[in-house]
């Protein structure tokens, strides 16, 4: 009986871990567009990106989230960028926590 409880607990924990990872992977999105504004922050910045589909995304770009200073790039207003990251939506705004800067032109 004691072993059955331990096995059940392990199964429940594994299910929880797998479901959390799957949910996180489903929120990964790539966004491309023109930078309209840049607001500096503590260890990075937030860029407002307008896409060709008339969507607006607020991209949070930080040194830590992109994997260190070697992967970090500063964008300017008018740059055309492509970024990949974790997407979420508030009531009226689209946000993306950038994990990879794909291109800056």
Q: Is residue 41 part of a domain?
A: yes
CATH, residue 49: 2.40.50.140
Q: Is residue 2 part of a domain?
A: no
Phi, psi at 64, each rounded to 5°: -65, -45
**pLDDT at residue 23 in the model:** 47
**pLDDT at residue 40 in the model:** 95
Q: Is residue 59 part of a domain?
A: yes
Q: Is residue 89 part of a domain?
A: yes
Q: For residue 43, give its domain range.
A: 28-104
Nearest to 72 by CA among 43, 51, 49: 43
Q: Is residue 38 part of a domain?
A: yes
What would the two tokens of residue 88 be? 């979420």
**pLDDT at residue 3 in the model:** 72
Q: Is residue 43 part of a domain?
A: yes
Nearest to 62 by CA among 96, 25, 26: 96
Q: How many domains does the chain have?
A: 1
Which string of b and e fits 68-104 if b means at least 16 CB within 10 Å? eeeebeebeeebebebbbbbeeeeeebebbbeebeee
**pLDDT at residue 38 in the model:** 97
Q: Is residue 56 part of a domain?
A: yes
Q: What is the pLDDT of residues 6-29, one digit of tens each?
A: 666 666 656 656 554 444 557 999
Q: Is residue 17 part of a domain?
A: no
**pLDDT at residue 25 in the model:** 58
Q: Which stretches in the chain have pLDDT values below 50?
A: 20-23
């Amino acid at each position: 009986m004691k072993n059955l409880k331990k096995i059940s607990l392990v199964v429940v924990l594994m299910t929880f871990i797998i479901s959390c990872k799957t949910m996180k992977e489903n929120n990964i999105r790539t966004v491309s567009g023109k930078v309209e504004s840049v607001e500096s922050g503590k260890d990075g910045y937030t860029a407002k990106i307008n896409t060709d589909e008339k969507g607006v995304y607020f991209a949070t770009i930080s040194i830590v989230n992109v994997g260190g200073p070697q992967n970090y790039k500063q964008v300017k207003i008018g740059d055309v960028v492509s970024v990949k990251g974790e997407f979420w939506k508030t009531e009226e705004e689209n946000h993306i926590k950038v994990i990879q800067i794909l291109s800056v032109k």
